[in-house]
Structures are given as structure tokens and as C-alpha cells.
Homo-oligomer: A and B are copies of this chain.
Amino acid sequence: CQFSLFNFGGTKKLDLDSSDTWMAAPITDLEHLKEHRDDMKCQVEALIMRIQAEVCQALEKEELEEGGKKFQIDRWLREQGGGGITCVLQDGTVFEKAGVNVSVVTGILPPNAVQQMRARGKKMKGESLKFFAAGVSSVVHPRNPHVPTVHFNYRYFEVEDEDGEKQWWFGGGTDLTPYYLVEADVIHFHKTLKKACDQHGKQLYPKYKKWCDDYFSVAHRGERRGVGGIFFDDVDEPSQAKCFEFVKTCADSVVSSYVPLVQKHKKDGYSYAERQWQLLRRGRYVEFNLIYDRGTKFGLYTPGARYESILMSLPLIARWEYMHAPEPGSKEAKLTEVLKKPQDWV
């Protein structure tokens, strides 16, 4: 199996030991990361650097096998503090647009972010709140309509209020957006995520599976963006170390949940009509991301945001047809039914 190169769960190798494979120099100096390896901020940064590298390398392998393109790597710094590394593979053979973004950002929370966090139950005094946010975030839009789109995001947040009171939490998830429903693929995807969750508690997968279905809702259409996966936020129990291990296991399951689906379908034939259907579905993807997605909004409303990194999640091409409805009984209609009524896959 070609995945044996990577550390899928199990091994206890330090993320820092993979630094020679990272896509670029980390935002925080490598020496600082090594010296403060017990600081959660540094642990998270090393983790997301490794995950970014592993995902990019796994995708690039699939792409280059078909004679395609390599990731473009942009390391950027933010005037207000922090920065990121954005890797994008655009207009390739297998991948029409694939982005894997790491960001490590510090600053003062924008007022609407404070409002949102308080609405979610966070107790934070004052108006000027210092924050640290680090995460890896990715969307992969393949060219072939038989290969699903995947999205994942794993992040860590620290907020310090005016009294110096510190809070931290983790968030994240992985979810799949197929254009055609192949049940075996969806089952493989969910099973892989469940296996990752189960290592940290049997209650986690059902809870985070449902959260995912609820979150990725294109409300005005009464349908989900895709066939779900897992989604969680505000995770701060039972301990920082255990939360980190959970997030690490989830992030480590991305490649094995998704890349086999790319391998299975990347050479499938497809018709013009199937491509048009894919582009229509990508229009719905754009609707979710721009109207509802909290991460996109938080990003775009953050002063000095690097909008190119935030909007890399948008597909290369999307289509909107007035009053499009799939033929009853068609493969397209079969997908739509599942999007309207989420199912249990494992």
C-alpha cells in the first residue's frame, strides 16, 4: 500500500521530526518550535505543517502519475501578525483545483467574531481580545465528475480576554462532496473517519457525523452540500493533550479516507452531461461557502485577511442554471435525494 510512507495513527513519531518534508519554512521559526515543543501552539503548528506536506505529496503523486502539475507554494506573512503557507494545484490533469492551506495567525478578534463566539457560549470579558489561531484547511476539486470533492480543516484557537483569562479549543472535520453516489465509496470514507474517532471514544463519531450533516446545509435549497463526514468545534475536554491527540488522529485519516477514491475513479470516462452536472453542483458548493460557511466569513471579515487563501476553496468553474432539476430516476436524482435526507453509512 502506498500509504505506508505516512504515519497513520499508531506511530508516536514527533511531528517536528518531519520538518525536512514540509512545503516551506514554518511561520514560527523552527528553532522556536523545537525549544517550545511543550507549548500547544507549537505542537499544533508542527502537526499542521506535517499534515499539509503529507496531503500535498499524496495528491501530487496521483496528479504526476497522469502527467499533470505540481503544487504552487506561497508563503505569506500578515502585517497584523502571523502568516501562512498556501499550496495550490490549479488546472491539473487529475485536479482542477486543489488547495491545502496552513495559517498561523495572531491579532485582535474582529467584533463580529467576538459576537459569534459569545453566541456559542464563550465567556470572554472586554472588547479587545487577543487571539491565536492555527489550522490546516483544504478543498480538493478533481476534474473527473466521478471523483468526489473533499474538504478538511483542523484548527486550534486561543483567546485571551482583558483580564488575562485564557481559553483554548479545537475544531475541525473532514467531509465529502460526490457528484455521483457510489455507496461503497461513501462507506469507505465514513468508516475511515469512524475508525479514527473510535480510538478516542465510541460516542464521538455519531455526534460529529450529525454535527457535520447539520453544519453543511445549503439552507435555502433544503439540501446538504455533500454526504457529510465529521465536524466539531469548541472541543476542550477532557484535556488539552487528549484533544490534540484526537485532532491528530482525525487529520491523519484524511489521506486514507480520500486518496483511494481518487485512485479508483481518476481514469473513469465521463460524458459532457456528467461534466455539466458536476459544474452545477459546484455552484451549490460556492453558495454554501459564500453564504453560510463560518470559516470563510471569519476569514474575509478579519482585517488584512489573505482572501486568495480563503477563496482557494472555490472551484475553478461553477455553473448556475435557472430551475435545473435532474430527471426523475436518474443518477443525478439519486444523489439529490441523499443530499436532501442524510443517511447513516456505517
Residues of A within 8 A of B (CB): 72, 74, 86, 88, 90, 97, 99, 219-221, 279, 283, 286-287, 290-291, 300, 305, 307-308, 310-312, 314-323
**Nearest B residue to A290 by beta-carbon distance?**
B290
Q: Which residues of the partner chain B approach A97 to less than 8 Å between Cβ atoms?
A: 320, 322
Contact (Cβ within 8 A) A311 B320: yes
Given contacts A88-B322, A90-B321, 15 further A-B contacts (CB under 8 A): A72-B323, A88-B323, A90-B322, A220-B300, A220-B307, A220-B310, A286-B286, A286-B318, A290-B291, A291-B291, A291-B300, A315-B320, A316-B319, A316-B321, A318-B319
Contact (Cβ within 8 A) B90 A307: no
- Report the separation of the CA atoms of residues A88 and B320 in the bound assembly, to the nearest whole angstrom: 12
Contact (Cβ within 8 A) B279 A286: no
**Nearest B residue to A283 by beta-carbon distance?**
B314
Q: Which one, B74, B90, B283, B323, contacts A74 given CB within 8 A?
A: B323
**Nearest B residue to A221 by beta-carbon distance?**
B307
Give the distance to chain B from A127, nearest Cβ to Cβ, in Å: 19
Q: Which residues of the partner chain B approach A72 to less than 8 Å between Cβ atoms?
A: 322-323
Please report whether the interface of chain A is mostly helix, strand, loop or mixed according to DSSP.
mixed
Contact (Cβ within 8 A) A308 B283: no
- Report the separation of the CA atoms of residues A88 and B322 in the bound assembly, to the nearest whole angstrom: 8
Give the distance to chain B from A338, nearest Cβ to Cβ, in Å: 20
Quick one: given A286-B286, A287-B290, are A322 and B308 in contact (CB under 8 Å)?
Answer: yes
Q: Which residues of the partner chain B approach A305 to less than 8 Å between Cβ atoms?
A: 220
Contact (Cβ within 8 A) A314 B323: no
Give the distance to chain B from A98, nearest Cβ to Cβ, in Å: 10
Q: Which one, B88, B219, B318, contacts A317 given CB within 8 A?
A: B318
Give the distance to chain B from A119, nearest Cβ to Cβ, in Å: 13
Q: Which one, B287, B291, B300, B317, contacts A319 given CB within 8 A?
A: B317
- Report the separation of the CA atoms of residues A323 and B315 in the bound assembly, to the nearest whole angstrom: 13
**Nearest B residue to A302 by beta-carbon distance?**
B220
Q: Which one, B86, B221, B290, contacts A286 given CB within 8 A?
A: B290
